[in-house]
Structures are given as structure tokens and as C-alpha cells.
Structure 1
Amino acid sequence: MTFLRAKSLFVGCCTAFVCCFLLLGCQKSGKKQKLWGGDEEEKLQVAIPASFTADSIQKLTVKLDSVFRHFHKKRGFNGTVLVTKYDKVIYKNAFGLADFFKKDSLTVETAFQLASVSKQFTAMAIMMLKEEGELNYEDSVQQYLPDFPYHGITIRQLLTHQSGLSNYTYFSDKLWPDRNKNLTNEDVIHLMVTHRPQPYYPPNTHFDYSNTGYSLLASIVEKVSEKPFAEFLRERIFEPLEMKHTFTYSPDFLTLTGKIATGHTRFRQKRTTDYLDTVLGDKGVYSTVEDLYKWDQALYTQKLVKHETLDEAFTGGILHKKKNQTEDYGFGWRIRPLDNGDTAVYHGGLWHGFSTYFLRNPKEHSALIVLSNLPNGSFSYLQELRKFLYPAHPDSVATKDQKLAVRGRRR
């Protein structure tokens, strides 16, 4: 009996040793660890009302096409659009040119620089590492970037724009010696360590939108994962979701195959890249409306993180709101109420000739994705478009907001 117990103990120890060895091996190889027992494909379901019929979809599609053709002809909208409702694509189209000099037309497969819409991918990378036990939101920046000169700033504060740090896109103009040399995330940190630009606010006292914070988050992802940030996004997010036309900026990105839009000034002149484009995390992701639809749908599953983890990204984290402030900010997403009473999570972006907008209404699994390479003010129509898609009185077909579609048809 003693021999059998000893043999059982030996086998158990060996099994535990092998399991630990395999687990460490997976961690070192960068493979995602399954930390929960649920089905990663389990998708959040949405109740589809009886009014959402093939006929109603067709009518809404016609109205949306009329609206966007009006925006293209009368307001100069140049870009691509995709609209969903109850997980179904009800409208997608492309308007205008990818390059006004070459005169090549845009398609829904054309990739655009997402500008600040890129921040949601940076936040997802952080959430994935947090779920795997590699970091915590309350960790200080110094735990991962030891030379960082500003104390009392946490990962959570970087995610929610409450670090108070000054904007690297401004202080780099003064501190970077050679504008012909690309600036990297590591260079941003070096400038901060060497010159210590004055923060705007003490941490956790103000919401102050910070590109610097998200560039630091990308550096933390690199430090923790031991791989370049662009490679992490590609291996852990883009490839698993089959986002085949999504990538991050690099100096040689124009050698990539596929259609890529050129950014323009409001006067349709080509907008060239500069030394700031190589900093990632706050911007730098290129994608298409169709790939962003794949991203939208993945956020209703557990392919990347658990539902509970993602819920926090969509929960407001601003501690000190201004009077009458209705918007909030989570992890890489702005949060705002819609006229119909639902709560939307969204983000916009503007960078070097590109304007982008991505809004999701999780309650009805709908999305509005608009990408443009001509920032000429034509995005001013977005408020009208939100009111049209999410009217305060959806049963009234004669509301002022819904006349938007009628006006578009008449013109």
C-alpha cells in the first residue's frame, strides 16, 4: 500500500512538472493562454424586433445610399462607409478617389490610416496582457519603463487619458533634432527622460486627451510581450480575426500589396508623411471598412478577451467630469448617449489627411464606420447621421431628422 501511494505521488508530481513546463513554453512562445472555461466563440446575442424585415432593410439601404450620395455631391465627402444593424451589413459603399493625382477610385477594400481609431487596438493589447496575468491596470509606468521620469502614473490613467502628460506631437517639434529622421516610441521615451517636458496636469485630476499616453501603452506592450508592437497586433489580433487588409504604418508600407488611400489636404493636395508617423499606439493602424466590421463582430465574442474584460473598456472612467459633461471615456473608446436613449461607444480620428469615425451601439448590435482621405469638414454631417440612424422618436416618420434622407433623394 505504501509503494502504491508513493508511485501515485511520483506520477502526480511528474504530471504537474510537465504541465508547468508546457505552460511556460507557451508563454515564452507568445501563445495566448486560455484562462477561462467558456467558449471563445460564444457570441452575445441581440433580440431582433419583428419590424426588422427584408423590406425594412431595403428601405433603410435606399435611404442611406441617398444620404451618402448627397454628402458626396454637396458636401465633398470622399471615402468609404459601412453600416450595420443587428449584426447585418445593411449598407456599404465607396465615394470618390483614393488619390486625386492618380485619379484611382476608392473601393470598400481600400485601406485608410485610422488615426486615433487605432487607440482601441492598443487598449485591446493591454487588456489581453492583463487577462493573461502579465500586468495590472494599477501598475505604475516605472514597473515596465524604469527610467520614466514622471511618478504616480498608472496604466489605467494612460488608458483613460488622465495621466496629465504633455503631447509628444508638440514637444517633439522642439526637441527632436532631425526632422528627416523618423521618431520611434523609444525615442519619445528618451526625449521625456532627457528633457522632462512639463506635464499639463498632475495625474488623475483631469481628463486630457493624450496621444503620449497611448504611445507609452504601445511601449509597455512591447516590454511585456518581448516583441514589436506591430508584430503583437498582427499575430494576436489582425491574423486571428482574418483582418487581411489591416496593418500598421512603417516607412516602407507603400511596398505592401493592396489598395491604400492617400491622405490629402482640404484642397485635395497630397499630404506627405513625416517623422511623427512612425510612432505607434496612438495612431498608425491602417484598415478597411470590411475589416473593421470583422473587428466589430469579434467584440461580441470572446475570441480576444472575456466579455467581462471588454465591459470595462466600455465603462466610463473619467473621475472629474466638467459640468454638464455627457460624454465619458473607457479604454480606447469614447462613450456617449444617443437620442434614442441607447449608449454608444465610438471614436473619431484625424491625422495627416485622414478623417475616421467608428461608432457602435451594442444594445442593437449596430455600427457606423466612415473612413475618409479628405478632411474638408464634410464630417460635420455625422451629428445629422446619428440622429437619422438613432432618432429620438423612431415611430414618427415625419420627424425633422428623418427628413434628412428625403432631402438627399430630392437633390
Structure 2
Amino acid sequence: MWEEPLIVEEDCLQHIEVPPTFTPVSAGKLGGQVDSIFRHLHKRKGFNGTVLVTKYDQIVYKGAFGYADFRSKDTLTTQSIFQLASVSKQFTAVAIMMLKEQGKLQYDDSLQVYFPDFPYKGITIRQLLTHRSGLPNYTYFSDEFWPDRKVNLSNDDVLNMMVAHRPNMYYQPNRTFSYSNTGYALLASVVEKTSGMSFAEYLKTQIFEPLKMTNTYLFSNELVEQTAKVVSGHIGGRRKRLPDYQDSVLGDKGIYSTVEDLYKWDQALYTQKLVKRETLEEAFLPTGKLNQKTESYGFGFRLKQVESGDTVIYHGGLWHGFNTYFLRNPKDHSTIIVLSNLTNGSLNYMKDVRNFLYPAQSGARARKQQKLASAR
């Protein structure tokens, strides 16, 4: 498959030279190989979802495998809308960056600047962005403190529970990394406080509409109107996973989108349409090593060195029957976007896809690459 690159209103900032060997023929061959990988994952590992892969800003492959709903046997398409789970966090981070550029907040502001009654001292916006706040996870403490699970939980409710009940911190702020859904829910509340808009309206008017992401929504009444396109999440045994009271908390999750809209998002991150280049580059800076020093975390993005030696920017997501994966490699402007509505472990094989697209270098080339990396 070969498609012309997406037309953006501003020139790419990180111009990339396309090698003469990358032609419609070679792109088609690459797309065929990717198709074979995902057909194998679908047949042998139970993958159910949609896929879009790019290289040098070109779509080389997109496809859909399986069902939007196993009971009704509705088939998936690349326009099917999935819950993005934690892939949503990068949108929250960029919203914070946009407001920072507008002078409406600073990364090192204390949360008390925005919420005077917030009971935990010394926690900053930067620590929320980088998962270094030490705050307890609302997905656990709300089970204890929320009185009626038939009533949807809001971001304000999460904040009010923390003020009223003060669940114990996991550790002191900025001591270490600990992945925090609470932190990103609070960042969505900061967006609302500083913009004067609901989080859903801010993302819609400031990000989704300017980027023409016409099939992207947040968990809301507006999403309900798109039920024909929204797929169902499924857990073990292909059982449908119904939404519950925590689905309505936004910022850490709650965005619904398609692989094609996420391609528009990927392309926009190479421009200054949303934020300046230097602002986005700060989001891709490591803030401490994770997972035995093989990766790090920036602002809403994980950073990892793959087998080829390239550093990729990525995030995964897992929530209520949805499993998602979004990876970008700035070196060759390639992207892997995978959305699944069946949490059966099939996305554990994304390493195989990475290793195919970014194979390990060998011999003198690898040594030269290591030497260049050490000199930086």
C-alpha cells in the first residue's frame, strides 16, 4: 500500500531525506510484509483490531482484523473508533504544553496555585507530567470512597475525594518514577482551570478540530451519538466489557479515536501547528531511567532505544477491554499505530513488529552508531 503523505498547513520542522531506495514498489513490499505479520498475529495469537504503519511520512500499510462486536459479528474497519486508554495521556500533556506557551501556567507551579485546598504539598505540574508525584491511584481509592458505582465519577469528584479523605501517598514527591493515572486526571483539571473550558471542549476546539480529527471524541454524550462507529471492548473469552463509573474520568484515558486520525496527530507533531518545536522537544527529554535502564519517560510519552539503536517515542494503553499502541520514530518518520478491542495479550507481540521495522545493526555499522551515540 502506498498513499501520498498527509498535507499539513505548516512545513515539517524536522525535514527528512527520503532515500532513493524508498519507492512505491519498496513501500508496497514493506506493506505486504507488515500485512503478513498481522495476519499471523490475528490467526495464531488472536489479534483483533486495526493497524496503520508509516515510513517517511507515507502510509505503507493499514488494515483491520476481526470484529467490532463479537456477539453481533460487526466487522472492523480503519474508521472504527476505539478507546485509546493511556495513549490518551499524550494529548493531555500537549494541552498542558499549549497552555504553558500561552503563559497560563508554568511546569514548576504547585498544584495549590490552582486548587488551594489540595492537601498534598510540594507537588508540581512537572511531576504530574513525568509520573513523579507519588500520589495514590484514584482507580484504587475511589473503590473505597465513592459511594455509588452506578453514578459516573468526574475529575472534580477525584479531586474532592483527595481533599476529603487524603489517601496515603505512595512516596514523597520527586523521589522516583511511579506511573500515575491520578496525575494525568489532575492535569486535565488544570487544563480546565487555566483555559476556562471543559477538558473535552478544550481538546475538541484546540486540537481535534484544527487537525481535522473528525472521528475523535472524549467520553461524553457526544460520543454516544457515534455508537455506530464505536467498538466494544472485550476481555477474556471474548466477553464484552461494559463501561463503568471510572470511564468518565478524563486525562489519563477517555479519548476515542481511529488509526487514521492518530496518523493526523502523528504528522501534526512534526509541525508547529500545536506547539513550538522547542516546547515539544522538552517533552521528549528523559526524566530518569525506568525498567532496568532500558527506557525513560518524558511528558506523556515513553522513550526507548530499539534494536536498531534508534530512540523511539511511544505509549501503550490498557483499559476495560481495550489495548492500544502508538510508536513514532523521528529518525525515519515512521509510525506504528495499533488499536485492539480484545485484551488477550496479543499486543505483547509488538516487539516482533518493532524488530522487523527496526532490525539490529551488525558489524562495523553498529559500532559506528554506538560511537556516535557515545559522543553526543
Q: Report the TM-score when normalising by structure 2.
A: 0.92
CA distance in 2, matches of 1:58, 1:227: 45
- Quote the residue 1:408 is aligned against: none
CA distance in 1, matches of 2:299, 2:318: 19
Q: Is the 8 A contact 1:245 1:258 kept in 2?
A: no
Equivalent in 342, 356, 373 of residue 388 of structure 1:
356
Equivalent in 24, 34, 56 of residue 86 of structure 1:
56
CA distance in 1, matches of 2:9, 2:49: 34
CA distance in 2, matches of 1:324, 1:373: 30
1:285-364 equivalences in 2 (<5 Å): 285-318=255-288, 321=289, 324-364=292-332
User: Secondary structure of 1:270's match?
Assistant: strand
User: Secondary structure of 1:203's match?
Assistant: coil
User: Secondary structure of 1:311's match?
Assistant: helix
| Offset of residue 99 of structure 1 | 0.5
Q: Is the 8 A contact 2:177 2:290 kept in 1?
A: no
Q: Which runs of 5+ in 2 are unaligned?
A: 1-7, 364-376
- Quote the residue 2:366 is aligned against: none
Equivalent in 36, 57, 65 of residue 66 of structure 1:
36
Q: Is 1:95 equivalent to 2:56 in the alignment?
A: no
Q: Is 1:372 equivalent to 2:340 in the alignment?
A: yes
1:177-196 equivalences in 2 (<5 Å): 177-196=147-166
- Quote the residue 2:374 is aligned against: none
Q: Which runs of 5+ in 1 are unaligned?
A: 1-38, 396-411
CA distance in 2, matches of 1:68, 1:176: 41
Tell me the amino acid that sits aligned with residue 44 of structure 2: K
Distance 1:134-1:336 versus aligned 2 partners, 3 A rule: same
| Offset of residue 341 of structure 1 | 1.0
Tell me the amino acid that sits aligned with residue 299 of structure 2: F
Deviations 1:225-257 (A, max 9, x none): 011000000000000000000000125632226
Equivalent in 205, 211, 224 of residue 241 of structure 1:
211
Equivalent in 37, 41, 63 of residue 10 of structure 2:
41
User: Secondary structure of 1:357's match?
Assistant: strand
- Quote the residue 1:268 is aligned against: 238
CA distance in 2, matches of 1:100, 1:252: 24
Distance 1:351-1:251 versus aligned 2 partners, 3 A rule: farther
Distance 1:94-1:325 versus aligned 2 partners, 3 A rule: same
Report how many residues are paired.
355
Q: Report the TM-score when normalising by structure 1.
A: 0.84
Distance 1:394-1:106 versus aligned 2 partners, 3 A rule: farther
| RMSD, aligned α-carbons | 1.5
Q: Is the 8 A contact 1:234 1:247 kept in 2?
A: yes
Tell me the amino acid that sits aligned with residue 347 of structure 2: F
CA distance in 2, matches of 1:80, 1:193: 41
Equivalent in 88, 94, 102 of residue 124 of structure 1:
94
Distance 1:374-1:73 versus aligned 2 partners, 3 A rule: same
CA distance in 2, matches of 1:367, 1:252: 29
| Offset of residue 41 of structure 1 | 1.2
Q: Is the 8 A contact 1:163 1:203 kept in 2?
A: yes
CA distance in 2, matches of 1:354, 1:264: 7
CA distance in 2, matches of 1:341, 1:181: 48
Equivalent in 229, 234, 241 of residue 259 of structure 1:
229
Tell me the amino acid that sits aligned with residue 25 of structure 2: D
Q: Is 1:174 equivalent to 2:144 in the alignment?
A: yes
Q: Is the 8 A contact 1:346 1:360 kept in 2?
A: yes
Tell me the amino acid that sits aligned with residue 317 of structure 2: G
Work out which of the two has the higher radius of gyration on C-alpha atoms and give 1 or 2. 1
Tell me the amino acid that sits aligned with residue 363 of structure 1: K
CA distance in 2, matches of 1:78, 1:390: 24
Q: Is the 8 A contact 1:340 1:393 kept in 2?
A: yes
- Quote the residue 1:110 is aligned against: 80
- Quote the residue 1:15 is aligned against: none
- Quote the residue 1:218 is aligned against: 188
CA distance in 2, matches of 1:59, 1:309: 37
CA distance in 1, matches of 2:302, 2:261: 21
CA distance in 1, matches of 2:187, 2:266: 22
Q: Is the 8 A contact 1:251 1:278 kept in 2?
A: no
Distance 1:255-1:40 versus aligned 2 partners, 3 A rule: closer
CA distance in 2, matches of 1:252, 1:263: 19
Distance 1:390-1:248 versus aligned 2 partners, 3 A rule: same
CA distance in 1, matches of 2:222, 2:12: 38
Distance 1:86-1:322 versus aligned 2 partners, 3 A rule: closer
User: Secondary structure of 2:59's match?
Assistant: strand
CA distance in 2, matches of 1:189, 1:73: 44
Tell me the amino acid that sits aligned with residue 135 of structure 2: L
Deviations 1:156-185 (A, max 9, x none): 000000000000000000110111111000
CA distance in 2, matches of 1:97, 1:40: 35
Tell me the amino acid that sits aligned with residue 21 of structure 2: S
Q: Is 1:197 equivalent to 2:163 in the alignment?
A: no
User: Secondary structure of 1:267's match?
Assistant: helix
